[in-house]
Structure 1
């Protein structure tokens, strides 16, 4: 049930923010496109027998305990009769764009944070005299006409709206009226708040702090020990005082990246290089689409024992071309891998953008590429590229034209075909270009 009723007539002074969250979005689109799947458990994600991970589960599957980010093998045990699909990203992106168009009809102050989630500033003013709750209800009605549903949180800040949106799903509408922020937040568990991870939660619990109300009045030294310079910000959030504006611009990020988990361990240089080259090509294409070029190249590997290592290197100049990345990445492979080692995941990232550009959040945070740069490995030997960087730049742009016109699967390099059959099939929750 909503924290407050949805009475449109109660006055709303001051700022009003909506968080629109599309319910089980990928799975809902699949059920829309496959009528026979409606009312049945549907899982979008990777293969259970290939280290896959659940991307999205329909509410029918969630009844059995299936959740996003759960290993697909576990999900299959919990719900063996579920319908599985790897996903159809072009379809999801098209639906997302249509829904964002609905939101823009209501306000130009839209901040899309993922393919299925967005903030919208609908603060009453001289131009917008309609009540925020009425706007939220109209959005829900129009989204439902497209064949999917959304849950909406309405509050005076992004923090309140985000937490409220999770309170009543699916197709819920939770409203926190001005002046009721602390009443709403105080009884909630500390983990409800963005920025409170498992380690912070454990430390707070050790000091007897289990709710957001208790966190709001916790000693300053405790909050600073956990969050450092962000301690005051976290306290303000718990008090409902965080007034970070809804920004129509995307937040700047530190990296553009891509990663893959192999369904069977990579054990040879050639197999690892094929995977790395494929990820480099994906990153480079995203850079070109965003008109970005970066100076720092990073490579991450996760091994069969689940340990992870990473290295990073500076490029001579900003680049957006995989053929400039690949020779250096091959040297970096030699720093992270030796014959006999089994690799289950590889990731490539580019950072260090010259201009203050904006791109979507990376598939893994740049902090994952901590400076493990200990100098070039004495046995590292660069593998000569099959195509030089200048020729590769022309080739990349030619393939971009084909893909832009006919889709991402219109043309493949040989390395991509080699990797294609050794992926988990996991559907990415937030594709880089939505």
Structure 2
């Protein structure tokens, strides 16, 4: 019998008590910017949280003068953040010590565990489950801009066995995520290296011509949101279909042919159009339209950038992803609950414009380097994805067992887990 089975038999043989998140958590305070005169705070916006890695990737520094209206909630180490705007994007994470006493957006529900009842990581693992997001999907409101209220999130009921049982389950689940965390840290370091390299390679002195983005475009326009969608038909691109700089066909929406050619005719897409999100939490995300999804259209949260001939779409997209664009947006978008980048600001964005052959050479270099970091078929991302699926399987298994009060881990499964842990330790030793 495993230690977990022994604890279950001893402490909760008849099942676990169910409590709502409201009953398991504490209140969170808001900052009073009018009376605040301390150092700059790190601001965790919705876009700060990586949807796949579930960690904070980057933040911006804010103060009482520059803070957006949504920058309100004071977070503490071990708080759990859940993005409540477009919640099925699954933006959730746990606050590490480096972000203790910093600020997060009101677009997050902050879950601060009452540690006399529940472990912070018990909440974290429970809100990652399939059951929790099925509940979220049922309780979110709004079709074009879905959201779920903090009250609805905290009404979710979860099993709360004794703390010793929680601790053992968390320990098992953490053993699955340990290597993932190490791999993620390595991947994050590579991404930062790539971003540093990209930003430097795209920095030019004054001998290179600089132009307004609008000067090299035949079109910069916004998309249009249709009145309804269909199950099949003409491709319709939303930001949710973006995966890095690619558009994933199985994440597309659809409209009928008549809607595409009449109501949406001014925003029909062409091959190599650049799409950039100009509103909301994902502002600044870019992708290039591939031939395979055409005919296609897009909504008003995305701008369409169509370059004049003689310019490389990928070169311009890399510039839009670079620190140059981030600094431009920080300068021009301030104090808005719903940040927006308007078409005039896009047109006025100043970019370096070397000759086309130089643009294409830089694209080849950056493409090769980016593939190492982001291609899901090779290297670290593929291994992280495999480990994540393994964790998800055992997470749902163990947390379901807590609901029934009877272990679903057989001795054979426990032996397999031990073997996997030994394999991981051997792998790490060989790599070192």
TM bucket, shorter chain: under 0.3
Structure-1-length-normalised TM-score:
0.26
Structure-2-length-normalised TM-score:
0.26
